[in-house]
Structure 1
Amino acid sequence: MKQASETQKKSRVDTLTDTKIRGLAYDGTPMIIRDRTVKGFMVAVNKTSKTYKIQADLWQGVPGRQTLVRTIRHTLGDASSMPVAEARQTALKYLLQIKGGVDPFKQEEPDLDPNDPLNWTVGKMMDAYIEHLKKSERTAATVRTVVKDRARYLKTWEDRLAIGIQKSDARALHEMLTRNHGPVCANHAMRYFRAAYNLANRLCDDKAAYAHNPVRAVIFNKERASGRVILIDEMKSWWTDLQDVKNPIRREMQLLDMLSGLRSENLRTIKRDDIKFAENYILIGKTKRGHRFDLPMSRQMAECCERALAASELLFPGSEWLFPTRNRQGAVTHAQVVREKAMPSMTGHILRHSHRTMAQFIGIDSINAKLLLDQKVPGMDGVYVHEQALFSVLLEDQQLISDAMFEAFAGRSPARRARQHI
């Protein structure tokens, strides 16, 4: 109640007259008296001055699709020397222009600072978000995905003022993207915009400018995970089909994918020097979680890497990559895709699921199974469990998983033989 009375004292509505204005005096608190006759016209009383002002929102765009450009605040003159009738007439002229979508003070204002988040367009805001991802050492794949989706799905907003995006705008774009590009693409675009808007809120000095993220009004589409895995009794068939892959480098890449459960980006970009045969691990310089990962390497994984190294040296002598290829310009680079055309539904991310399923089937400790896939361990276990300290245990479990997979490749059902770790 106290706060409400203080706010009422600082701002009130009255019919402004010359007599009333002469009687206004500073009482220790700045005061705004808004004119009852002309909305947006007011007099401000401060310690050393009394001034006429106007304030109004500038909306632009076609009817029904207008966007808030900015809130215009402008001082008209000294209330001690200018008659209120003259000030009201001037205010009315400007307010009518603003209502019509015209900024009467555009040329009078200094150039806006493009680095101030308050003045960011959506394009500038997304630039800042992408730069933030890079500085946060997010993976190159993550950054590329945001850049691609921003260019494709948010292009109609590029030049719009970020703080001018309304809830209705967000809902309309999400619905349009859902119709034209599918529910998952629509959700991703809105998530990236939401994250960028939240970053702008953190960086902007004006706490109110980005306080209400318009994506809060979006009802996200339900996304269903495929849950596709290669079941135990399907692995023999998968192994048979793998032998028909003619390219030996890609054949070994698919096998290592199955034996390791690595993410696509990490698998494709393994370098020859990353294979630490003596220490029994593959060095993954930076994972999706943003850190180094020493992937325990089973005997079968090591043999797979040896064959891949021999094939890559034969076909691409001197290449730094474990799985090299040539790009469209003819330059040697790392493999660009994991999915195999000859096995379209049996390669890619489902092999990661298959690794986890096999670990579960033979009884590998659930935390160890997550650590082998560089997955986040939930709860307090994620705070106190350190994979480096458990490397020898994880290496044993990796070997058990590889042994079980090769049993399944041979058509035998793997035994539930893994020991349980405390």
Structure 2
Amino acid sequence: MVQGDLREQGKRASTIRIAIGDSGELSTRAARAVAKEYLIQISRGIHPKSNEKATKASTIADLANEQKPGPVGITLKEAWARYKIAMERKNRSARTIESYRDHVERIFKDWLDTPLKQLGDDPGQVAAKHDAISEQKGPYIANGSMRTFRAIYNHARKTNRELPADNPVDSVDWNREKRRDTGMGVADLKDWFAEVAKLKNPIRREFHLFTLLSASRPGALKEARLEHLDLRRRILHIPRPKGGADRAFDIPLSRQMISCLMRSIRFGRQMHPYEAKNWLFPADGTDGHLTEQKEDRKVLSKWGNELRQTYRTVATPAGVSELDAHMLMNHSVPGVNSGYITRHKLLEDHLRAQQQAISNTIFAALGDALTTQPSLRDWLGRGAARRQVACAREAFEQREVKVPQIRKTAGATIIRLRPVSRAHSPQSSVQG
């Protein structure tokens, strides 16, 4: 709007207010140019909207159109950068942030420099993108990436009111998602144990077993450290589960779970003595711990989150209530009244007893297999751990290391690395 006084013979005749245009159609620069022209006309006693100035007004409109900018505003890249900071302030887990980053930088790579307003004004473009991702990447990642975009858009609109109030993701026809029903029942456990017993790596064997006994998410369990294990209180602390540090919790340990961890620690000290100083499930590599839990389906039929589903399935015949199962798995407790329950007050008595009941049910499914099947007897039978530790020590000593060979020639010294077993290397001890 522009306001001014019309004067006749030096005296104010009237005060007028005139609309310049809509802010969505004119830039600030163009509006100032139009306002300046209107004020000049008003100072001369001429109403800017009079017929005698129609030609001039059209010239001003042409000027506005010439200076009208293209789409402006925050881009997807800028909105993601701000949303990432917000997620970090809320202590979201690194895995969650990485998942969002992958969606933005890989799935929406061609939208990074696109203003969000342009996408908000054209929801059909977003719906078409969802359809394309569904065909190229699959229905699950298409839905997941659109949830990421929806969250970033909603966060950006808090500080960018030019964005349309309706989220463009609302135009998407979501793909149907079905919960994977791949958990095992009690009757399936004996065959699964036989498969695990045949794995060559004893640490991976204990990892899969502990995943089943604890229902822990594999990503959090792989990063479990020795300092997180409290044998006096019989708990394993998970500092950064799904949901970030705010969702940190303690897993009560049954007798079978403690035995499993003790075997892993003993194997680790023989197979990976340096890494075993920090990690419960050590391994070769820069991280020092297991980084991949996947197995060939022909070798091990169930692993990862399928063991979490199995745990929840077995909890029912074990007599564990739905509420206790939720707390043991660190799920959100349903219902208003349940919100008044203080979990850590139940941890070292009631919840541990429920954990023990689930472990007993799992091992009871083995029946007499511990004595009749050699592979299971060599893994879980009496005295089996001592024999396996000796085998792990022998395997470690036979692993090849590279020993430098120095050979001098005329004018040069040649150093070659010769593979030898640890038993014959200069540092043949386990600590070496």
The CA deviation at 1:145 is 1.0
Report what 1:181 is aligned to: 137
What is the aligned-residue RMSD (CA, Å)? 2.8
- 2:59 is aligned, of 72, 78, 90, to 90
Report what 1:404 is aligned to: 361
Report what 1:6 is aligned to: none
The CA deviation at 1:411 is 6.8
Q: Distance in 2 between matches of 1:148 and 1:209?
A: 24
Report what 2:230 is aligned to: 276
- 1:81 is aligned, of 40, 44, 48, to 40
Kept after mapping to 1: 8 A contact 2:241/2:247: yes
From the superposition, tell whether residues 401 and 128 of structure 1 become closer, same or farther in structure 2 (CA, over 3 Å).
same
Q: Distance in 2 between matches of 1:375 and 1:147?
A: 25
Q: Distance in 2 between matches of 1:200 and 1:382?
A: 35
Aligned with 2:240: secondary structure? coil
The CA deviation at 1:163 is 1.9
Report what 1:141 is aligned to: 95
- 2:282 is aligned, of 300, 312, 324, to 324
- 2:352 is aligned, of 368, 383, 395, to 395
Q: Distance in 2 between matches of 1:192 and 1:362?
A: 38
From the superposition, tell whether residues 231 and 203 of structure 1 become closer, same or farther in structure 2 (CA, over 3 Å).
same
From the superposition, tell whether residues 72 and 236 of structure 1 become closer, same or farther in structure 2 (CA, over 3 Å).
farther
Residues 66-123 of structure 1, C-alpha deviation per residue, up to 9 Å, x if partnerless? xxxx89852222424236346423333235546xxx739x9xxxxxxxxxxx832101
The CA deviation at 1:395 is 0.2
Report what 1:154 is aligned to: 108
Does 1:25 pair with 2:52? Answer: no
Which residue identity lines up with residue 303 of structure 1 in the other structure?
S
Q: Distance in 2 between matches of 1:202 and 1:375?
A: 30
Query: Where has structure 1 moved over 6 Å in runs of 4 or more?
Result: none
Report what 2:150 is aligned to: 194
From the superposition, tell whether residues 334 and 57 of structure 1 become closer, same or farther in structure 2 (CA, over 3 Å).
farther
Report what 2:288 is aligned to: 333
Kept after mapping to 1: 8 A contact 2:268/2:281: yes
Report what 1:386 is aligned to: 342
Aligned with 1:283: secondary structure? strand
Higher Cα radius of gyration: 2
Q: Distance in 1 between matches of 2:39 and 2:113?
A: 43
The CA deviation at 1:23 is 7.4
From the superposition, tell whether residues 297 and 219 of structure 1 become closer, same or farther in structure 2 (CA, over 3 Å).
same
- 1:296 is aligned, of 242, 246, 252, to 252
Q: Distance in 1 between matches of 2:180 and 2:139?
A: 14
Which residue identity lines up with residue 253 of structure 1 in the other structure?
F
Residues 358-393 of structure 1, C-alpha deviation per residue, up to 9 Å, x if partnerless? 111222111001100001111114411121011110
- 2:69 is aligned, of 94, 97, 103, to 103
The CA deviation at 1:56 is 5.9
Q: Distance in 2 between matches of 1:125 and 1:283?
A: 35
Percent identity over the alignment is 27
Which residue identity lines up with residue 340 of structure 2 in the other structure?
Y
Does 1:267 pair with 2:224? Answer: no
Q: Distance in 2 between matches of 1:227 and 1:367?
A: 21
Q: Distance in 2 between matches of 1:54 and 1:293?
A: 55
From the superposition, tell whether residues 186 and 71 of structure 1 become closer, same or farther in structure 2 (CA, over 3 Å).
farther
Aligned with 1:324: secondary structure? coil
Aligned with 1:147: secondary structure? helix
Higher share of residues assigned helix: 2
Report what 1:234 is aligned to: 188
Aligned with 2:236: secondary structure? strand
Does 1:352 pair with 2:308? Answer: yes
Report what 2:419 is aligned to: none
Can you give the 5+ residue segments of structure 2 that lack an aligned partner in the other structure? 3-7, 42-47, 370-432
Q: Distance in 2 between matches of 1:360 and 1:73?
A: 70
Give the TM-score, by structure 2 length.
Answer: 0.73
Aligned with 2:15: secondary structure? coil
Can you give the 5+ residue segments of structure 1 that lack an aligned partner in the other structure? 1-9, 12-18, 34-41, 43-52, 59-69, 107-117, 413-422
Kept after mapping to 2: 8 A contact 1:325/1:335: yes
Q: Distance in 2 between matches of 1:23 and 1:411?
A: 108
Does 1:310 pair with 2:266? Answer: yes
Kept after mapping to 1: 8 A contact 2:192/2:300: no
Kept after mapping to 1: 8 A contact 2:186/2:314: yes
Kept after mapping to 1: 8 A contact 2:126/2:172: yes
Aligned with 1:228: secondary structure? coil
